[in-house]
Amino acid sequence: MALDPTARKANVKDSIKKYFIDTVQTIEGVPVSFDTSARTPKLTGQPKEVLQWVGIDLGSFSISDWTEFYIMIFCCTRKDYEGFKLAQLRDKVVGYLTANSGSIPFYRSYSDQAWTLLGGMTVLNVLESEEMQAPDETKYVMLTCRIGFVSKL
């Protein structure tokens, strides 16, 4: 028996990817990576060194009539000695998380046809880490976001 589209993790992942690529990467020009590390992404076609990027990792997932899941967002900068660029990047990302009353469009994704809108996923809260620094001098903060939506089992 097939899962309802609102219960499919693939739809959640695709919707999250689309949202961050459409906003942070396309509008803000900041590369988005879905790698699970905070290392500098290897981006094809990049003419210069990447000095800021956002890494996103899908965390735990609890499905029921009200489904909740977590994403970890790593806002990362390089050559940012006082962390000002990191603060600006964090502000942009949090701005997109709280836009439209914290609603992220939730789609039924397809590989061979147009996606259909199922509804919205609500950002319930955002927990921010302290500013950290990796051994390669990358500065970063991690935003742990709890997101929920109505689903059918």
Query: In order of start, what are the domains of the chain with their CATH numbers?
Result: 5-35+49-150 (3.30.2000.20)
Q: What is the pLDDT of residue 126?
A: 97
Q: How many CA atoms lie within 13 Å of 88's alpha carbon, on the beta-carbon side? A: 10
**Residue with structure tokens 């991690």?**
142
| Phi (first) and psi of residue 71, to 5 degrees | -125, 145
List the pLDDT tens digit at each of the 153 positions of the chain. Answer: 688 999 999 999 999 999 999 999 999 999 999 976 655 666 556 556 889 999 999 999 999 999 999 999 999 999 999 999 999 999 999 999 999 998 999 999 999 999 999 999 999 999 999 999 999 899 999 999 999 999 998
Q: What is the pLDDT of residue 41?
A: 61
> What whole-number distance in Å separates Cα of residue 62 and Cα of residue 94?
23
Give the global pTM. Answer: 0.91
Q: C-alpha distances in angstroms, 86 versus 47, 60, 78, 105, 124?
A: 22, 26, 9, 26, 23
